[in-house]
Amino acid sequence: MDTFIYSLRKFFQSIPLIFGVTLISFVLMVYFGPDKTYDLLGKNPTQQQIEEVHHQLGYDQPFLTRYFIFFKEIITFDFGYSDSTGEKVSSIFARTIPVSLAVQLPILISGNIISIILALIAAYFRGKMIDKSVMFVAVIGMSVSYLIIVILFQIIFCSSYGLNIFPVQGWEVESFTSYLKYVTVPVLASVFLSIGYNTRFYRAVIVEEITKDHVRTARAFGTHPLKLLFKNILKNSLIPIMTRIIITLPFIIIAGSIVLESYFSIPGIGLVLYDAILTGDLPIIKAAVTWTAMIYVLSLILTDIMYTVVDPRVTLK
């Protein structure tokens, strides 16, 4: 019950944040964003055509009126129709978000599990050969460009120069097997990259924990190293690890991954958003900004709640 009241209060406290974020984004969209008009009319529109389109898109309204309309949209969660395709924004999101999640969730889960295990091993053997090899791979994952990794994995898994067992790109998912067929290579490439960043971060967190007195105590009582790592140390290191994972959620849900989705032709939210930003498709951008802010706030509340689950010393008041 305390948790519920806390979450509710925290959420209401965050409402100004949501409106602040959306206001700033809206100012940027209106004064600095691309003009949809030329995208719709082609190269040589007449002055009259331009005015017509401006009127249709609402560009001729004063800023306050336009912001008021946006304000209403935020409250009702109804962002209208895409300026490009005329499809309802909510249905675009409903269509593309699951696709992005189907790619991103396996990346998030397996990437983090592998990173945590590698980090535990590296931290336990810190300074030794195993640690150095793990960190070597991690630094490669961090420093090599995403594009090179993607192309490399495509060559290894999808071309006749390599194993040639997966399609290079596309997304014709009808069953679980076809899902696996299209999802494997993008997931492998991204997991490889995320291991780089995550392992380094997690290793630092775990090394700090491993030198604490309570770990020495556990060792002095004969605790098995595996239990020491996966119970005593891991639970103590979970706060920074969890924070990092949960904070990435909003970006995964709403933004997907533009690079990944364009390189593998995955029809996810990342591609839609990318196009919307380039062409100035305001309804989609507005919806994305609002939802991201919203989910971000919820993630922060979720992090706070998870703290109390992991660490008995934390109470929500």
Q: Report d(CA 154, CA 167) in Å as an integer.
A: 9
Which ranges of the chain does DSSP label H, i.e. alpha helix? 2-32, 36-41, 47-57, 63-76, 89-124, 129-143, 146-158, 176-210, 213-220, 225-227, 234-250, 258-263, 269-279, 282-310
Shortest CB 116 distance to other proteins, Å: 16
Nearer CB in complex with other proteins: 42/127: 127
Single residue of 55, 72, 132, 212 touching other proteins by CB under 8 A: 212
Is 227 a residue that touches other proteins (CB under 8 A)? yes
**And the tokens for 110?**
């397996």
The rounded distance, in Å, linking the Cα atoms of 196 and 176 is 29
Out of 58, 164, 214, 278, which residue is the one contacting other proteins (CB under 8 A)? 214
The site map against other proteins for 96-135 (x = CB under 8 A) is -------------------------------x--------
Give residues 54-93 in contact with other proteins (rule: CB under 8 A): none
- Residues 287 and 79 sit within 8 Å (Cβ to Cβ): yes
In contact, 254 and 270? CB cutoff 8 Å: no
The residue among 29 and 234 lying less far from other proteins, judged by its C-beta, is: 234
Interacting residue with other proteins among 218, 229, 284, 289 (CB under 8 A) = 218
C-alpha 155/C-alpha 171 separation (Å) is 18
- From 13-21, 38-46, 63-71, 221-229, span contacting other proteins (CB under 8 A): 221-229
**Cα 312 to Cα 9, 96, 238, 306, 308, distances in angstroms:** 22, 40, 13, 11, 6
How many residues sit in the footprint of other proteins (CB under 8 A)? 21
From the list 14, 115, 236, 299, which residue makes contact with other proteins (rule: CB under 8 A)?
Answer: 236
Shortest distance, position 236 Cβ to other proteins, whole Å: 6
Which stretch in 8-16, 75-83, 169-177, 207-215 sits in contact with other proteins by CB under 8 A?
A: 207-215
State which of residues 13, 56, 85, 217 lies at the interface with other proteins (CB under 8 A).
Answer: 217
Give the integer Cα–Cα distance in Å for 261 and 267: 7
Q: Which is nearer to other proteins, 112 or 232 (CB)?
A: 232
Rounded Cα distance between 236 and 36, Å, is: 51
Residue choice 4, 8, 224, 315 for contact with other proteins (CB under 8 A): 224
Q: Which stretch in 109-117, 133-141, 230-238, 257-265 sits in contact with other proteins by CB under 8 A?
A: 230-238
Neighbouring CB atoms inside 10 A of 43's CB total 5
> 88: which strand partners?
81
Q: Considering beta carbons, is residue 100 or 236 the nearer one to other proteins?
A: 236
Query: Which positions lie near other proteins, rule CB under 8 A?
Result: 127, 212-214, 216-224, 227, 232, 235-236, 310-313
